[in-house]
C-alpha cells in the first residue's frame, strides 16, 4: 500500500527548515516546525499564532489533525487552543498553529522548534436523519460522570 501524498508549497519564511516528518518509525504524528522569523514569547495565559511556512493540498477524503506535543504540554504547559485543530482538504492557506501557554512561566517559540504534531486521517461524511425516537441503551441519558471513575 502506498502512502498518501500531501503536496506542499514552502513559503519564504520556511526556507531552510525541514518538511514535517515522523520522529520514529512507529510515530502517528508528523512534527510541525515553527517558521518564525524572530523568537515569539508567550506569557502565562497568553496565546500566539505560530506560522509553519507551509501551504498544503491534502489527498481527497482526508483531514490533517493538528495536536499538541506531549512533552511541551507536560514540561511547559504548552497546549493548542483548538485541539485538535482540523485542516480541511480544500484549505490552501498557510498552516498556522494557535499556541496557548497554560504554564506558569513565559515560553519562547524559536525558529525550527517542533511546536505541534499533525496526523493525517480519513474523513467519513455523515448524513442526518430525523426520527421520532432513538433506540434504548443501558446508559440512556446518563451524562457527565454517569459511568463513574472506577
Digit-by-digit pLDDT tens for the chain (150 residues) are 789 999 999 999 999 999 999 999 999 999 999 999 999 999 999 999 999 999 999 999 999 999 999 999 999 999 999 999 999 999 999 999 999 999 999 999 999 999 999 999 999 999 999 999 999 998 888 777 777 778
**Domain definitions of the chain by residue range:** 7-122
Q: Please tell me the distance from the alpha carbon of residue 97 to that of residue 118, in angstroms, as a whole number.
A: 11
**pTM given for the model:** 0.88
- Please tell me the predicted confidence (pLDDT) of residue 150: 81
d(CA 53, CA 12): 7
Label the pairing between strands 114-122 and 40-42. unpaired
Cell numbers describing residue 108: 519562547
Q: What is the pLDDT of residue 146?
A: 73
Q: Look up the CATH architecture of domain 7-122.
A: Distorted Sandwich (2.70)
State how far the Cα of 21 lies from the Cα of 32, in Å rounded to an integer: 8
Amino acid at each position: 500500500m502506498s502512502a498518501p501524498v500531501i503536496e506542499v508549497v514552502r513559503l519564504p519564511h520556511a526556507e531552510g527548515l525541514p518538511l514535517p516528518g515522523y520522529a520514529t518509525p512507529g510515530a502517528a504524528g508528523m512534527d510541525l516546525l515553527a517558521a518564525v522569523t524572530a523568537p515569539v514569547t508567550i506569557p502565562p495565559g497568553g496565546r500566539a499564532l505560530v506560522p509553519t511556512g507551509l501551504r498544503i493540498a491534502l489527498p481527497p477524503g482526508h483531514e490533517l489533525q493538528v495536536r499538541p506535543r506531549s512533552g511541551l504540554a507536560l514540561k511547559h504547559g504548552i497546549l493548542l487552543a483548538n485541539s485538535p485543530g482540523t485542516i480541511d482538504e480544500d484549505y490552501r492557506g498557510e498552516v498556522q498553529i494557535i499556541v496557548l501557554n497554560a504554564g506558569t512561566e513565559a515560553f519562547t517559540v524559536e525558529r525550527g522548534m517542533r511546536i505541534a504534531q499533525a496526523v493525517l486521517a480519513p474523513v467519513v461524511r455523515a448524513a442526518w436523519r430525523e426520527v421520532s425516537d432513538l433506540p434504548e441503551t443501558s446508559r440512556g441519558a446518563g451524562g457527565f460522570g454517569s459511568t463513574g471513575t472506577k
